[in-house]
Structure 1
């Protein structure tokens, strides 16, 4: 285990940039996982990180110590920081002071859409994107395609909201969604509060691409025209619509229900 005590250390400056800038994360092709749960999930599903960073005070935490031991056992790199230096890296209040530096996965993108997937058209809130990824992973969906206006999937807020779902998904960003939908070999369903067709009335047992749109504007008009069907989730009461993440969860688990029935 190495130790860093200076804010002027080159590696520390690199970590600080990655912790605060999506642009830096995109450029480096790297991101930071914050907390025991995400780090354990990475070890279980993806293997060793590029680097494990821990605060000196956190080494007394049994869960943190166990993660550090696993990394060191695999001959991974571990660096300890004074608590004050570590605090400037983490966005988690009252966290456990454990970070993994990892390479952002770059899965090979299929030439054509042939299986169930999620298509995010300008979903901007990181919490919503993370929740959608979590529901997709739990619902058995393995591919996520994001338009250029969608929140960066490997940002800290999205990672925390998804709770490890990233590691069981193939995520593709900056995707030309109209081109993807035109060439798709699966049913493409666009959610819309104005659709006449109810989600319960659609056969979802086959491969389905779910097209979900911006929190305020919904799916863009051009993509709505390209979708196979527009579907709505019926609801009672005076609330105008569901949050996009809640809508996604209903869609994914209605598909799972039909497949398991």
Structure 2
């Protein structure tokens, strides 16, 4: 196994750029998975990483050793511990990073989708992707104003949800709403129906808007129906990730 100890190593410099730049990730079509859980989820999805990076701690870890046995033929490099620390944001890193290709979804007619408009907080976006995967969505469409879906923070928050979904970034949500089969439901404070009164058993999509501004008027107009989430308590709205989870799992409840 190769050992890198210098910050001037060209491969390490490329990895640093990839870890810190959405533009670089898009250009390379690659991202980094930080930790054993994400690599395990990636392998469970039938995929193999391009490269695995380890520190000295990981080399002594039984869970890491088991994962490495599943990464057949994948090149591996040990990084000096200080260099590895520059690549991870985890307070207690597992000592493992995997370089992977960002999946490119094929055009498809979704039957249970999530449309996300300008979701800017990486934690919220990752949580929404995780909920979508758990609820059985087949696709998530992200507007240009959304956070980078393949950033380390979003990947960590989604906990492997990325690998169970087709994720379409920089999507024209109005065009998507017009072409999806079934009913597109737009979450709105001024909806004409309550969520629990909507029929969610057929082909559907939920449109959820920005944390502060909600959905744009244009996307609300493009949707088939606007709805509200009943809130008998003394608050005006839910966190965007919480709202998405409520909607998705009401659909799950109706379809069970």
**TM-score range normalised by the length of the shorter chain:** over 0.9
Measure how far apart 1:189 and its partner are. 0.3
Deviations 1:12-41 (A, max 9, x none): 001111111111111111000000100111
What SS does the aligned partner of 2:11 have? Answer: helix
Aligned counterpart, 2:104? 106
**Pair 1:47-2:51 in alignment:** no
**Pair 1:218-2:214 in alignment:** yes
Distance in 1 between residues matched to 2:78 and 2:160, nearest whole Å = 24
Aligned counterpart, 1:38? 38
Aligned partners of 1:51 and 1:101 also within 8 Å: yes
What SS does the aligned partner of 1:90 have? Answer: coil
Distance in 2 between residues matched to 1:109 and 1:122, nearest whole Å = 22
**Pair 1:230-2:223 in alignment:** no
Q: 1:184 to 1:43 in 2, by over 3 A?
A: closer
What SS does the aligned partner of 1:197 have? Answer: coil
Deviations 1:146-200 (A, max 9, x none): 1100111101111000000100100011111111112232200000122131011
Equivalent residue in structure 1 for 2:175, among 172, 179, 200? 179
Aligned counterpart, 1:157? 153
Aligned partners of 1:121 and 1:150 also within 8 Å: yes
Which 5+ residue runs of structure 2 have no aligned equivalent?
none
What's the RMSD between the two structures over aligned residues? 1.1
Aligned partners of 2:181 and 2:204 also within 8 Å: no
Distance in 2 between residues matched to 1:184 and 1:19, nearest whole Å = 34
Aligned partners of 2:53 and 2:97 also within 8 Å: yes
Count of equivalent residues: 256
Measure how far apart 1:114 and its partner are. 4.5
Aligned counterpart, 2:238? 242
Measure how far apart 1:44 and its partner are. 1.4
Aligned partners of 2:133 and 2:165 also within 8 Å: yes
Aligned counterpart, 1:86? 84
Distance in 1 between residues matched to 2:13 and 2:46, nearest whole Å = 26
Distance in 1 between residues matched to 2:70 and 2:82, nearest whole Å = 25
Aligned partners of 1:114 and 1:186 also within 8 Å: no
Measure how far apart 1:42 and its partner are. 0.8
Distance in 2 between residues matched to 1:20 and 1:94, nearest whole Å = 19
Aligned partners of 1:58 and 1:96 also within 8 Å: yes
Aligned counterpart, 1:2? 2
Measure how far apart 1:255 and its partner are. 0.4
Distance in 2 between residues matched to 1:153 and 1:40, nearest whole Å = 19
Aligned partners of 1:123 and 1:150 also within 8 Å: yes
Moved more, 233-242 or 154-163: 233-242
